Amino acid sequence: MKQLPVIFKRELASYFSSPLAYVFIEIFLVLSGVFTFYLGGFYERNQADLAPFFGVHPWLYLILIPALAMRLWAEERKSGSIELLMTLPVSCFDAVVGKFLAAWVVAGISLVLTLPMVITVNYLGDPDNGAILTAYLGSWLLAGAYLAIGSCMSALAKSQVIALILALVVCFLFVACGFPPVLDALNPWAPQWLLDLLASLSFLTRFDAISNGMIDLRDPLYFVSVIVAWLAATVVAVNLKKAE
Amino acid sequence: MIEISKLTKIFSGHIAVDDLSLHIGPGEILGVLGPNGAGKSTTMKMLTGFLAPTSGTASILGFDIRKQRLLAQRQMGYLPEGTPCYDDMRVQSFLEFIASIRGYRGAERRERVARAIDLLELGGVCGQPIETLSKGFTRRVGLAQAILHDPKVLILDEPTDGLDPNQKHQVRELIQGLGQDKTVIISTHILEEVSAICKRALIISNGRVLADGPPAELQSRSRYHQAVTVQADEPLDLLALAVLPGVAGVEENKEEQSLTLLARPGAVIFPQVSALVAARGWRLNRLDLEQGRLDEVFQRLTRGETA
């Protein structure tokens, strides 16, 4: 456990020593602004909340988070530095979690930088700031779940591009299984329990519940367990694939 | 110090390391020789805990690499083949990262990093990103990270590969200096390197040990051991040389017009040859005694013939 902060710090510094973190934050801020104000009809709704802002997050993350996660392990394997890392006295758990946390903090920073959005709604009306805070936490958890998937895909693929595509596909499955058009298409022939199961596995359903300000401990717990499960899978994948 | 017992690694049906058992004592500098694909790197990767053995194990200072991987890794410094580093990092911060991983904090960390930088003369490039460094400097950064914690065991995978002659010389001197109080294992396919710095040489091929002993002992297995080479402008009496006691054969080297007289195993022929030269009054340009050729031993062994 002692090495975890060291790995975390190095990884975070390397995000910011390359343009990657800046590009990610920039694109996230621009796109979330565009989606909220133009496509989400922020002003037209005449409601003092951030629903259009948070509503777009599952789709925005779908494109952006795999790009943030793709380098986590694929790059180490490509450059061979994984051999250096794994022959230092570092447990695989420390390395996997340290790297994941660094990427998660980058995602967190970009969320914090959307604070002007909160100031705007507070200036224009009288929103429920508790609900907004909950939604922020939910959004960060959602980003964490995407990242954990991305980290596992990055450990499986040696090429960053393949890691990106794999992560995108798997994340999409987790989002789409709760998307109303998908559920509607399955409705005529699938049994109800299957639909319920799919919907309950979906990031979309869970995230909507949190971002609507409903406090049910099961939803955050769902995201936490998704993160834990995918990070455990990452540990297995790293051990399996490190020497290839 | 290092105890390897029945270490085996099989990659999808192909045996890379085959039932390797070895004891390496303290203060030994062991040179591992072998053709490409002989299993040198695979053995080192297993010793350093990067690869899990298929069967068998090894222990470093009593720590088993399978059951006590982290403890064993603390005792070792490792330079992987090709010196992979975090290329986007600056030399100083890279070494600080390694020192932190090794558990050093504060003043001790600064001191360790400063000493490694000093020892490998990296002072001038401290602030440069590793990716901008030349091959020689990158290798030195790799060595610096390996010796930072003053390990008892140093494992270096082809430390001089791809360096220019001056850099090779520097790295060899450094390894010799380090070998005073450490156990060092280096892999190489440069044979002269083994004679120059190793106290013990190991020739492996197809994952098996073919020869194990001091470089001089391996050299003496060469058919050129105790051979004498003579070279003169005038033609020499081949027959007189060939019938000298102890001479096993004569080889003519057309290019430089010299003769190499091979000795029978165990025989010494230099005195007879020089006596004959003096008696006949030949004017020689060269009269050399050979200790044996390591490359010839290497070729013979690794091509599967018996020594």
Mean pLDDT over each residue of chain A, to the nearest integer: 90
B87 close to A (CB below 8 A): yes
3-state secondary structure A188-221: CCCCHHHHHHHHHHCHHHHHHHHHCCCCCCHHHH
Averaged pLDDT, B207-212: 89
What is the maximum alpha-carbon separation in chain A?
58
pTM: 0.88
Q: Tell whether B93 is covered by a domain.
A: yes
With beta carbons less than 8 A apart as the criterion, state whether A7 and A81 touch: no
Supply angle C-alpha B141, B143, B149, rounded to 5: 105
Q: Cβ contact (<8 Å) for B50 and A81?
A: no
With beta carbons less than 8 A apart as the criterion, state whether A33 and A27 touch: no
**Residue A26 pLDDT more than 70?**
yes
Q: Tell whether B106 is covered by a domain.
A: yes
Averaged pLDDT, B20-41: 90
Nearest residue to A136 (alpha-carbon basis) of A149, A117, A150, A123? A117
CATH of the domain at B109: 3.40.50.300
User: What is the number of alpha carbons within 13 Å of residue B237 lying toward its C-beta?
Assistant: 13
- A77-127: per-residue pLDDT in tens? 999 999 999 999 999 999 999 999 999 999 999 999 999 989 988 998 888
Q: Tell whether B306 is covered by a domain.
A: no
With beta carbons less than 8 A apart as the criterion, state whether A3 and A89 touch: yes
B49 close to A (CB below 8 A): yes
* Tokens (6 digits) for B102: 């090794």
Whether residues B208 and B233 fall in one domain? no
Cβ-Cβ contacts under 8 Å, A6 against chain B:
97, 100-101
Rounded CA gap, B61 and B183, in Å?
10
With beta carbons less than 8 A apart as the criterion, state whether B300 and B259 touch: no
- A141-182: per-residue pLDDT in tens? 999 999 999 999 999 998 999 999 999 999 999 988 878 888
Whether residues B92 and B190 fall in one domain? yes
Q: DSSP character for A3?
A: T
With beta carbons less than 8 A apart as the criterion, state whether A199 and A205 touch: yes
Rounded CA gap, B34 and B17, in Å?
12
Whether residues B235 and B211 fall in one domain? no
Whether residues B187 and B243 fall in one domain? no
Residues 45-104 (A) with a CB less than 8 A from some CB of B: 79-84, 86-91
**Residue B54 pLDDT more than 70?**
yes
At A241 the pLDDT is 85
Partners of B187 in the β-ladder: B32, B157
Number of folded domains that form chain A: 1
A223-227, B82-86, B87-91, B266-270: range with lowest mean pLDDT: B266-270
Whether residues B112 and B255 fall in one domain? no
- Structural domain for B66, as ranges: 2-219
At B304 the pLDDT is 63
Q: Tell whether B36 is covered by a domain.
A: yes
Phi, psi of A86 (to 5 degrees): -80, -5
At B305 the pLDDT is 45
Whether residues B82 and B196 fall in one domain? yes
CATH of the domain at B283: 3.30.70.100
Number of folded domains that form chain B: 2
Whether residues B77 and B196 fall in one domain? yes
Cβ-Cβ contacts under 8 Å, A71 against chain B:
none
Whether residues B57 and B166 fall in one domain? yes
Rounded CA gap, B259 and B262, in Å?
10
A225 close to B (CB below 8 A): no
Partners of A61 in the β-ladder: none
| Chain B interface test: which of A88, A99, A239, A240 (most B C-beta within 10 Å) | A88
> What end-to-end distance do the CA atoms of chain B give, in Å?
30
Q: Tell whether B300 is covered by a domain.
A: no
pLDDT band at B306 (very low <50, low <70, confident <90, very high): very low
E-strand spans in chain B? 2-11, 14-24, 29-33, 55-60, 63-64, 76-79, 153-157, 183-188, 200-205, 208-213, 228-232, 247-253, 258-263, 284-289
Averaged pLDDT, A27-54: 83
Whether residues B179 and B256 fall in one domain? no
Supply angle C-alpha A227, A232, A236, rounded to 5: 145
- Structural domain for A179, as ranges: 4-241
Averaged pLDDT, A25-39: 89
Rounded CA gap, B4 and B30, in Å?
14
Number of Cβ pairs < 8 A linking chain A and chain B: 62
Q: Cβ contact (<8 Å) for A86 and B97?
A: no
User: What is the number of alpha carbons within 13 Å of residue B58 lying toward its C-beta?
Assistant: 28
Whether residues B122 and B245 fall in one domain? no
- B136-185: per-residue pLDDT in tens? 899 999 999 999 999 999 999 999 888 888 888 888 888 888 878 899 99
Rounded CA gap, B122 and A180, in Å?
61
Whether residues B211 and B107 fall in one domain? yes
Whether residues B186 and B261 fall in one domain? no
Contacts of residue B217, Cβ cutoff 8 Å, sequence gap at least 6: none
